[in-house]
Structure 1
Amino acid sequence: MTLRVTFLGTSGAVPTVERAPSALYVNREGDELLFDCGEGTQRQMMRFSTGFGFEHVFLTHMHGDHILGIPGLVQSLDFNDREDPLTIHGPPGSKRTVESLVRAGDHDPGFPVRVREVAPGDVAVDREEYEIRTFETQHRTSSMGYALVESDRKGRFDREKAEEELGIPPGPKYGKLHSGEPVELDDGTVVQPDEVVGPPRPGRTFVYTGDTRPVESTVDAAADADLLVHDATFTEADADRARQTAHSTAKEAADVARRADAKRLALVHVSSRYAGRVDELESEAAAVFDGEVFVPDDGDEVAVPFPDGD
C-alpha cells in the first residue's frame, strides 16, 4: 500500500532559487493530502507531477509563507473545472483569514470550499484506514502539527498451517479466518482465527510539525513515527535566533526525533542563509539522531514503508 511524500516547498520564510515556501503533498493509497500552501504551490504541483486530486488541505498556522498559495491554488483548480469539494483545515482563529484567501480578488469558487477550524488534540480526518490527528506546537501565533496515523493491519495468515496442519482447503474459509471469523470444517471441527492468523501489525505514522520550537507534544505525536518532518530553520550557531523567532535548530529537531524513537527525520523550513550548505544541518542532526536524517530538496519524493517492511 502506497504512502508517498512529495516535498513541494522546503524553504524558510524567504524563498530561494532552489527552494519554494512550505508545502508538502502526501499520497496514501490514492488519498491525496496537502499540508501547508506557500506561494506558488500550484506551480510546484505541476512541476513535480503530483496532480490535483486532493480533497483536504491542512494548514499549520497563518504566516504568509504557509498560506499565500491558497488564492492561486483555488483559482487554478477553478480554471480547470474542478467540481469536487475541498476542505481546508486550520488552527483556532484561522477561519476568517482562510476564507478571505479563498475569495481573494473577489473570486467566487465554482466548487464547494469548506473552511474548518480544528484544535490541537482533535482528529481532523477520521477514516477506517487512518486518522489525521492534530497536536500542539509552539510558534509565534496559533499553530499546530498533523500526524497521519494508520490503523493496525491484519496479522499474517499462516497458509501452510491452515492447509497442511489443520486441513483447511484453500478458498473462502481463508478469507473468513483472516477477517476474524471462525470456520467449521466438514468433520465438524471449528477453527478459530487466532490459530492461523498472527497478531495485528502496526500501520505507518507520518508527522509534520510546521514551524515550531521543540516541544514535548511533538515527541508524543511522533512516537515510533516512520517519518517525522520537522522544522529545522537554523543550526546551533544561530540558536538564539531560533529561540527569538520560535523555530528549531537541526540539533533540536534531531533530539525530538531521538526521544520519539522515530525512524527517519526530514529537516525542512531551511533558512536562506544555508543555501548551498545544508550539509551543516544534516551533520548537526546526525550527531544526535541515529536514524536516517536528510534535508530534502524541492521535488524529492519519499516512500514510507511499513515498519515490518511488508
Structure 2
Amino acid sequence: MQLEFLGTGAGVPAHFRNVTSIALRLLDELNSVWLFDAGEGTQIQMLSSSIRPRKIDKIFITHLHGDHIFGLPGLLASRSFQGGQDELTIYGPKGIKQFIETSLRMSQTHLTYPIKYTEIAPEGGLIFENKKMKVTAKPLDHKILSFGYRIDEKDQVGELQVDKLKALNVPAGPLYGRLKSGQDITLDDGQVIKSQDVIGPNKKGRSVVILGDTRKTDNALILAKDADVLVHESTYGQGEGKQARNHYHSTSLQAAEIAKQAHVGRLLLTHISARYAGKSANVLAYQARDIFENTRVVNDFDVFEIPYGTQHNTKPIKLDVTNEEDTQ
C-alpha cells in the first residue's frame, strides 16, 4: 500500500506544484489504483509518475471545485484511448455524474468502458466494502459539500507458525494450506492439529484518511481516529487562522491538532498555497511539529510506503520516497 501525490497545490497550478490529485496504490492488495481527486493536468502528472490510467478502477472526488475535478474528462478519455476496458467507479458529491457526462457529451468523447457512479448522500456513510477493504465518507466544512474519506484495510489472518508444524511432524504441502484456511487436520497417527494453535495473531490492517478542503471540524477527527496516515489540507500557516476560516480552509496548526487528538501515526500536509513556494513550504511542517511531531509537507511525485504496525507512532520515521516504474 502506497500513497503517490500527483498534485499538492491549492487553487491553481504553480511552478512546483500542480493542483490536487492523490493515488492510493493497492497493487499488492487488489492489483489496482484508487485516485482521489483529479485537478487540471492530472494526466500530465501521471507521465512523470508510476501511475497508468488503465490501472485506475476507482476515483473518489472530495468536492466539485475546479482544482479537484477539471482533470477528470481528459483522464477518462486517455484511459479509453490507452485500451481501458474494465468498469470504472466514480464516487463523489451529487453533481459529479452530470459534470462528467456533460463534458464527454459536448466533446463527443466515447469511452471504451462503462462508468458506474456513486453519488454520496450528504451525511456520508459506508460507500464501499469488499473482503479486503472498506471506505467510509463523512462531510467536512467547506463552501460546498466536501467529503473526507477513510480507507480501512481489514485485519489479515496471522502467519502459519512453521517451526511449530515441523515440531509436530506435519508434512509440508496441502495440510499447511488447510490449516491456514482455518481447518483443523488429523494426521495419520491420529493426532489432531487445531488451526488456532499453529497460526499467529491476526495482522492489524492499515488505515489511511484523505480529507478534502475543510475548516477544522469534528468529522475530520472522527474519520482520523487511530489512522496510520492522515492526509490533511494546509492552505494556510500560523497566524492565518482568520483567513483560513473566512475561506473555509485549514492552517497547518489546525491539521496538527486533529492529528494529535486522533492519535494518528503520521500527518502529511498537502493543498499548499502558492504563497509557500519552494522550501518556504517547509515552514508549515515546522509549525505543525510543535504540536504533532511526525509531520511532513508533501511535494508532487512523493511516494510514501505505508508499513504495518505504525498506529500511534508519533515519533519521526524515515518515509520511503521513490518513483520506481510500475511494472505490474
Mapped contact 2:73–2:100 kept (Cα < 8 A): no
Mapped contact 2:4–2:304 kept (Cα < 8 A): yes
Which of 8, 11, 14 is the equivalent residue of 1:13?
11
Which of 150, 155, 177 is the equivalent residue of 1:152?
155
Shift of 1:222: 2.0
Where in structure 2 are the equivalents of 1:88-99 lying within 5 Å?
88-99=90-101
Kindly tell me the number of residue pairs found equivalent between the two proteins. Answer: 305
Shift of 1:78: 3.0
Using the alignment, how far apart are the partners of 2:102 and 2:47 within structure 1? Answer: 25
| CA offsets 1:122-144 (integer angstroms, 9 cap, x no match) | 33332211122212211111111
Mapped contact 1:90–1:117 kept (Cα < 8 A): yes
Which of 297, 301, 304 is the equivalent residue of 1:302?
304
Identical amino acids, percent of aligned pairs? 36
- Partner in structure 2 of residue 161 of structure 1: 164
Partner secondary structure for residue 103 of structure 1: helix
Where in structure 2 are the equivalents of 1:38-57 lying within 5 Å?
38-52=39-53, 53-57=55-59
Where in structure 2 are the equivalents of 1:268-279 lying within 5 Å?
268-276=270-278, 277-279=280-282
Using the alignment, how far apart are the partners of 1:47 and 1:103 within structure 2? Answer: 29
If the length of structure 1 is used for normalisation, what is the TM-score? 0.92
Mapped contact 1:71–1:103 kept (Cα < 8 A): no
Quick one: which amino acid aligns to residue 35 of structure 2?
A: L
- Partner in structure 2 of residue 74 of structure 1: 76
Give the direction of change, closer, same or farther, for the CA distance of 1:203–1:102 in structure 2 (3 Å limit). Answer: farther
Where in structure 2 are the equivalents of 1:103-252 lying within 5 Å?
103-119=105-121, 120-164=123-167, 166-252=168-254
Using the alignment, how far apart are the partners of 2:105 and 2:128 within structure 1? Answer: 24
Shift of 1:195: 1.1
Mapped contact 1:78–1:110 kept (Cα < 8 A): yes
Using the alignment, how far apart are the partners of 2:113 and 2:159 within structure 1? Answer: 43
- Partner in structure 1 of residue 326 of structure 2: none
Quick one: which amino acid aligns to residue 140 of structure 1?
A: K
Partner secondary structure for residue 123 of structure 1: strand
Quick one: which amino acid aligns to residue 8 of structure 2?
A: T
Considering only aligned residues, what root-mean-square deviation do their CA atoms show, in Å?
Answer: 1.8
Partner secondary structure for residue 307 of structure 1: coil
Shift of 1:104: 4.4
Using the alignment, how far apart are the partners of 1:74 and 1:51 within structure 2? Answer: 12
Using the alignment, how far apart are the partners of 1:174 and 1:79 within structure 2? Answer: 45
| CA offsets 1:69-124 (integer angstroms, 9 cap, x no match) | 11221222233343322221112344323332343424333432233202354333
Structure 2: gaps (5+ residues)? 312-328
| CA offsets 1:46-85 (integer angstroms, 9 cap, x no match) | 1213111101111000000000011221222233343322
| CA offsets 1:251-307 (integer angstroms, 9 cap, x no match) | 1111111112111111000011111211110011111113x2111111111111111
Mapped contact 2:124–2:136 kept (Cα < 8 A): yes
Quick one: which amino acid aligns to residue 170 of structure 2?
A: I
Using the alignment, how far apart are the partners of 2:140 and 2:242 within structure 1? Answer: 19
Mapped contact 2:265–2:310 kept (Cα < 8 A): no
Give the direction of change, closer, same or farther, for the CA distance of 1:86–1:104 in structure 2 (3 Å limit). Answer: farther
Does residue 37 (structure 1) correspond to residue 38 (structure 2)? The answer is yes
If the length of structure 2 is used for normalisation, what is the TM-score? 0.87
Quick one: which amino acid aligns to residue 184 of structure 1?
A: T
- Partner in structure 2 of residue 64 of structure 1: 66
Quick one: which amino acid aligns to residue 149 of structure 1?
A: D
